[in-house]
Amino acid sequence: MSISNHVVINLQQIKKIYDMGGAEEVQALRGVSLQIQKNEYVAIMGPSGSGKSTLMNIIGCLDTPSSGLYEFNGVNVSEMNDNQLAKIRNKEIGFVFQTFNLLARSDSLHNVELPLIYAGVTSADRKRLAREALEHVGLGDRGHHKPNELSGGQRQRVAVARALVNRPSILLADEPTGNLDSKTGDEIMVLFEELHSQGNTIILVTHEEYIAEHAHRIIRIRDGMIEIDEIVKNRKKINTA
Protein backbone atom coordinates (compact mmCIF):
# COMPACT_ATOMS: atom_id res chain seq x y z
CA MET A 1 0.00 0.00 0.00
CA SER A 2 1.52 3.32 -1.01
CA ILE A 3 0.64 6.68 0.45
CA SER A 4 0.03 9.22 -2.27
CA ASN A 5 1.48 12.68 -2.01
CA HIS A 6 -1.87 14.42 -2.10
CA VAL A 7 -2.22 16.83 0.85
CA VAL A 8 -5.76 16.82 2.22
CA ILE A 9 -5.24 19.02 5.27
CA ASN A 10 -2.81 21.92 5.43
CA LEU A 11 -2.71 23.99 8.65
CA GLN A 12 -0.33 26.95 9.03
CA GLN A 13 0.04 28.77 12.34
CA ILE A 14 -3.50 28.07 13.43
CA LYS A 15 -4.47 29.91 16.62
CA LYS A 16 -7.68 29.78 18.56
CA ILE A 17 -8.23 32.29 21.31
CA TYR A 18 -11.33 32.36 23.47
CA ASP A 19 -12.09 35.82 24.78
CA MET A 20 -13.44 35.34 28.28
CA GLY A 21 -14.36 38.97 28.79
CA GLY A 22 -12.15 41.65 30.30
CA ALA A 23 -8.45 40.99 29.97
CA GLU A 24 -8.91 37.27 30.32
CA GLU A 25 -8.48 34.98 27.38
CA VAL A 26 -7.85 31.30 26.77
CA GLN A 27 -5.34 30.36 24.11
CA ALA A 28 -6.67 26.94 23.11
CA LEU A 29 -4.33 26.72 20.12
CA ARG A 30 -1.14 28.75 19.91
CA GLY A 31 0.05 28.27 16.38
CA VAL A 32 -0.42 24.76 15.07
CA SER A 33 1.06 23.83 11.70
CA LEU A 34 0.64 20.38 10.18
CA GLN A 35 -0.12 18.58 6.96
CA ILE A 36 -2.03 15.39 6.50
CA GLN A 37 -1.97 13.42 3.29
CA LYS A 38 -4.43 11.19 1.65
CA ASN A 39 -4.90 7.78 3.29
CA GLU A 40 -2.89 8.71 6.36
CA TYR A 41 -4.00 7.34 9.71
CA VAL A 42 -3.16 9.92 12.34
CA ALA A 43 -3.68 9.83 16.08
CA ILE A 44 -3.76 13.08 18.02
CA MET A 45 -2.84 12.69 21.67
CA GLY A 46 -2.41 14.94 24.63
CA PRO A 47 -3.63 15.64 28.11
CA SER A 48 -7.12 16.87 28.77
CA GLY A 49 -7.56 20.53 27.90
CA SER A 50 -4.57 20.61 25.60
CA GLY A 51 -6.64 21.67 22.58
CA LYS A 52 -7.31 18.38 20.78
CA SER A 53 -11.04 18.92 20.33
CA THR A 54 -10.53 22.53 19.36
CA LEU A 55 -8.14 21.40 16.64
CA MET A 56 -10.50 18.68 15.45
CA ASN A 57 -13.44 21.08 15.28
CA ILE A 58 -11.40 23.47 13.18
CA ILE A 59 -10.27 20.68 10.87
CA GLY A 60 -13.89 19.52 10.67
CA CYS A 61 -15.06 23.05 9.68
CA LEU A 62 -17.34 23.16 12.71
CA ASP A 63 -15.29 25.97 14.18
CA THR A 64 -13.14 28.70 12.69
CA PRO A 65 -9.63 29.62 13.82
CA SER A 66 -8.84 33.06 15.25
CA SER A 67 -5.90 33.29 12.88
CA GLY A 68 -3.79 31.17 10.60
CA LEU A 69 -4.30 29.42 7.28
CA TYR A 70 -6.39 26.33 6.72
CA GLU A 71 -6.47 24.69 3.33
CA PHE A 72 -8.72 21.75 2.68
CA ASN A 73 -7.85 19.87 -0.54
CA GLY A 74 -6.01 23.00 -1.59
CA VAL A 75 -8.93 25.34 -0.98
CA ASN A 76 -8.70 28.11 1.61
CA VAL A 77 -11.40 27.36 4.14
CA SER A 78 -11.00 30.63 6.06
CA GLU A 79 -12.58 32.49 3.18
CA MET A 80 -15.67 30.31 2.91
CA ASN A 81 -19.16 31.42 3.86
CA ASP A 82 -21.64 29.45 5.99
CA ASN A 83 -23.18 27.59 3.07
CA GLN A 84 -19.83 26.56 1.62
CA LEU A 85 -18.72 25.32 5.04
CA ALA A 86 -21.97 23.36 5.40
CA LYS A 87 -21.29 21.76 2.04
CA ILE A 88 -17.73 20.77 3.08
CA ARG A 89 -19.07 19.30 6.34
CA ASN A 90 -21.69 17.44 4.38
CA LYS A 91 -19.64 16.00 1.53
CA GLU A 92 -15.96 16.09 2.46
CA ILE A 93 -15.85 15.39 6.17
CA GLY A 94 -17.20 12.54 8.24
CA PHE A 95 -17.22 13.39 11.92
CA VAL A 96 -17.50 10.80 14.71
CA PHE A 97 -18.08 12.17 18.20
CA GLN A 98 -17.32 10.79 21.62
CA THR A 99 -21.00 11.11 22.55
CA PHE A 100 -22.28 9.61 19.25
CA ASN A 101 -24.61 12.58 18.58
CA LEU A 102 -27.35 10.59 16.91
CA LEU A 103 -30.90 11.92 16.60
CA ALA A 104 -32.56 10.19 19.53
CA ARG A 105 -36.03 9.98 17.98
CA SER A 106 -34.93 8.59 14.63
CA ASP A 107 -33.96 5.03 13.78
CA SER A 108 -30.52 4.03 12.51
CA LEU A 109 -31.50 4.19 8.84
CA HIS A 110 -32.83 7.69 9.14
CA ASN A 111 -29.79 8.83 11.10
CA VAL A 112 -27.52 7.50 8.37
CA GLU A 113 -29.78 8.99 5.68
CA LEU A 114 -29.59 12.50 7.09
CA PRO A 115 -26.34 13.65 5.39
CA LEU A 116 -27.75 12.34 2.09
CA ILE A 117 -30.89 14.41 2.57
CA TYR A 118 -28.84 17.57 2.94
CA ALA A 119 -26.77 16.48 -0.05
CA GLY A 120 -29.97 16.37 -2.10
CA VAL A 121 -29.81 12.66 -2.93
CA THR A 122 -33.11 11.16 -4.11
CA SER A 123 -35.15 8.99 -1.80
CA ALA A 124 -34.50 5.66 -3.50
CA ASP A 125 -30.73 6.22 -3.65
CA ARG A 126 -30.77 7.45 -0.07
CA LYS A 127 -32.42 4.30 1.22
CA ARG A 128 -30.01 2.08 -0.68
CA LEU A 129 -26.85 4.00 0.32
CA ALA A 130 -27.90 4.20 3.97
CA ARG A 131 -28.58 0.47 4.07
CA GLU A 132 -25.23 -0.26 2.44
CA ALA A 133 -23.42 1.97 4.94
CA LEU A 134 -25.12 0.19 7.85
CA GLU A 135 -24.17 -3.19 6.39
CA HIS A 136 -20.64 -1.93 6.02
CA VAL A 137 -20.38 -1.39 9.79
CA GLY A 138 -22.09 -4.69 10.49
CA LEU A 139 -25.52 -3.33 11.43
CA GLY A 140 -27.52 -4.39 8.39
CA ASP A 141 -30.18 -5.85 10.65
CA ARG A 142 -30.49 -2.83 12.96
CA GLY A 143 -31.89 -0.32 10.49
CA HIS A 144 -35.13 0.25 12.36
CA HIS A 145 -33.65 0.42 15.85
CA LYS A 146 -33.60 3.76 17.59
CA PRO A 147 -30.38 4.77 19.42
CA ASN A 148 -31.80 3.83 22.82
CA GLU A 149 -32.44 0.33 21.49
CA LEU A 150 -28.75 -0.13 20.63
CA SER A 151 -25.62 -0.76 22.70
CA GLY A 152 -22.94 1.94 22.96
CA GLY A 153 -20.73 0.16 20.46
CA GLN A 154 -23.62 -0.21 18.02
CA ARG A 155 -24.49 3.46 18.37
CA GLN A 156 -20.95 4.41 17.52
CA ARG A 157 -21.11 2.12 14.47
CA VAL A 158 -24.25 3.93 13.32
CA ALA A 159 -22.37 7.21 13.79
CA VAL A 160 -19.48 5.84 11.70
CA ALA A 161 -21.90 4.71 9.01
CA ARG A 162 -23.39 8.20 9.00
CA ALA A 163 -19.94 9.76 8.76
CA LEU A 164 -19.05 7.57 5.77
CA VAL A 165 -22.30 7.56 3.83
CA ASN A 166 -21.41 10.57 1.65
CA ARG A 167 -17.92 9.10 0.92
CA PRO A 168 -15.99 11.97 2.51
CA SER A 169 -12.31 12.76 1.86
CA ILE A 170 -11.55 12.39 5.52
CA LEU A 171 -12.89 10.73 8.64
CA LEU A 172 -12.49 12.64 11.91
CA ALA A 173 -13.06 10.91 15.23
CA ASP A 174 -12.81 12.78 18.53
CA GLU A 175 -12.30 10.14 21.23
CA PRO A 176 -14.65 7.69 19.51
CA THR A 177 -14.00 5.02 22.13
CA GLY A 178 -14.14 7.38 25.10
CA ASN A 179 -17.64 6.33 26.07
CA LEU A 180 -17.15 2.63 25.36
CA ASP A 181 -15.69 -0.22 27.40
CA SER A 182 -12.36 -1.51 26.14
CA LYS A 183 -13.82 -4.50 24.33
CA THR A 184 -16.34 -2.52 22.26
CA GLY A 185 -13.68 0.16 21.90
CA ASP A 186 -11.47 -2.45 20.26
CA GLU A 187 -14.29 -3.38 17.89
CA ILE A 188 -14.52 0.22 16.74
CA MET A 189 -10.74 0.28 16.27
CA VAL A 190 -11.00 -2.83 14.08
CA LEU A 191 -13.58 -1.00 12.02
CA PHE A 192 -11.27 2.00 11.62
CA GLU A 193 -8.44 -0.31 10.63
CA GLU A 194 -10.63 -1.76 7.90
CA LEU A 195 -11.74 1.67 6.71
CA HIS A 196 -8.16 2.78 6.52
CA SER A 197 -7.11 -0.27 4.54
CA GLN A 198 -9.95 0.56 2.11
CA GLY A 199 -8.26 3.88 1.40
CA ASN A 200 -9.91 6.25 3.88
CA THR A 201 -7.99 9.08 5.52
CA ILE A 202 -8.46 9.02 9.28
CA ILE A 203 -7.68 11.43 12.08
CA LEU A 204 -8.36 10.12 15.54
CA VAL A 205 -8.18 11.81 18.93
CA THR A 206 -7.46 9.61 21.90
CA HIS A 207 -5.57 9.69 25.14
CA GLU A 208 -5.05 5.94 25.28
CA GLU A 209 -1.59 4.91 24.11
CA TYR A 210 -2.67 1.47 23.01
CA ILE A 211 -5.34 2.94 20.75
CA ALA A 212 -2.95 5.46 19.27
CA GLU A 213 -0.60 2.68 18.36
CA HIS A 214 -2.97 1.55 15.65
CA ALA A 215 -2.18 4.73 13.76
CA HIS A 216 0.69 5.41 11.38
CA ARG A 217 1.49 8.72 12.86
CA ILE A 218 1.02 10.23 16.30
CA ILE A 219 0.82 13.96 16.93
CA ARG A 220 1.23 14.91 20.57
CA ILE A 221 -0.22 18.21 21.70
CA ARG A 222 0.43 20.12 24.90
CA ASP A 223 -0.91 23.56 25.83
CA GLY A 224 -2.18 24.24 22.35
CA MET A 225 1.07 23.45 20.59
CA ILE A 226 2.40 20.42 18.78
CA GLU A 227 4.98 18.78 21.01
CA ILE A 228 5.89 15.70 18.97
CA ASP A 229 4.87 14.61 15.46
CA GLU A 230 6.17 11.10 14.80
CA ILE A 231 5.70 8.09 12.51
CA VAL A 232 4.85 4.92 14.39
CA LYS A 233 7.52 2.31 13.86
CA ASN A 234 5.92 -0.82 15.20
CA ARG A 235 2.27 -0.47 14.36
CA LYS A 236 0.05 -2.59 16.48
CA LYS A 237 -2.06 -4.87 14.36
CA ILE A 238 -5.36 -5.93 15.80
CA ASN A 239 -6.22 -9.51 15.25
CA THR A 240 -9.21 -9.08 13.01
CA ALA A 241 -9.96 -12.76 12.83
Partner 1 sequence: MGQVFETIAHEFRESLAMALIALRINKLRSILTLLGIAVGVFSIIAVMTAMGVLLNSIESGLSQLGANTFQIQRTSNFNTGNPQERAKMRNRKNIKYAQGLLVKERATLAKAVGLEAWSGGKIVATLTGQKSNPDVAIVGEDIEGFATNNWDIGDGRLFTQSELNSGRKVAILGIQVVKKIFTKLDPIGQTIRIDGQEYEVIGTIEPKGGMLGGNQDNFVAIPLTTLFDVYGSNRDIHIMVQASSRETFDDCVEQVRGILRSARQVSPGVDDDFYLFSNDSMIEQFNDFTKYVRLGIMVISAIALIAAGVGIMNIMLVSVTERTREIGIRKAIGAKKNNILSQFILEAVVISELGGMIGIIIGILVGNILAITLSVPAIIPWDWVAIGFLVCSLIGVVFGVYPAWKASNLDPIEALRYE
Which residues of the shown chain bind partner 1 in the complex (CB under 8 A)? 57, 60, 62-63, 82-83, 86-87, 89-91, 95, 97, 101-103, 105, 114-115, 117-120, 122-123, 162, 166
Give the dihedral of Cα atoms 26, 62, 215, 202; nearest 10 deg.
-170
Cα dihedral 111→115→118→123 (10° resolution): -70
Binding to ligand ADP by residue 51, rule CB under 6 A?
yes
Report the partner that residue 28 touches, choosing among ligand ADP, Mg ion, partner 1, none (CB closer than 5 to 8 A by kind). ligand ADP
CB of 213 to partner 1, least distance (A): 28
**Residue in the shown chain whose Cβ atom is closest to Mg ion:** 53
Distance CA 17, CA 25 (A): 7
- Nearest 5 degrees, angle CA 122-CA 75-CA 12? 135
Minimum CB separation of residue 146 from partner 1 in Å reads 13
Stretch that binds ligand ADP, among 46-54, 65-73, 141-149, 157-165 (CB under 6 A): 46-54
Give, to the nearest 10 degrees, the angle between helix 152-164 and helix 108-119: 20
Residue 88 vs 195, nearer CB to partner 1: 88
Q: For residues 31 and 34, what is the distance between their CA atoms, to the nearest angstrom?
A: 10
Residue 90 binds Mg ion, judged by CB under 5 A: no
50 binds ligand ADP (CB under 6 A): yes
**How far apart are CB 49 and ligand ADP at their closest, in Å?**
4
Edge-to-edge strands, sheet with 201-205: 93-96, 170-174, 201-205, 41-45, 217-222, 225-231
Asked if residue 53 binds Mg ion (CB under 5 A), the reply is yes
The type of residue at 165 is V
Question: How would you label 178-194 residue by residue, b for 16+ Cβ within 10 Å and e otherwise?
Answer: bbbeeebbbbbbebbbe
Among 9, 14, 45, 52, binds ligand ADP (CB under 6 A): 52
Q: Which is nearer to Mg ion, 53 or 166 (CB)?
A: 53
Choose one: 42-50, 68-76, 123-131, 137-145; the region binding ligand ADP (CB under 6 A). Answer: 42-50
Q: Which is nearer to partner 1, 5 or 83 (CB)?
A: 83
C-alpha closest to that of 180 among 192, 198, 168, 165? 192
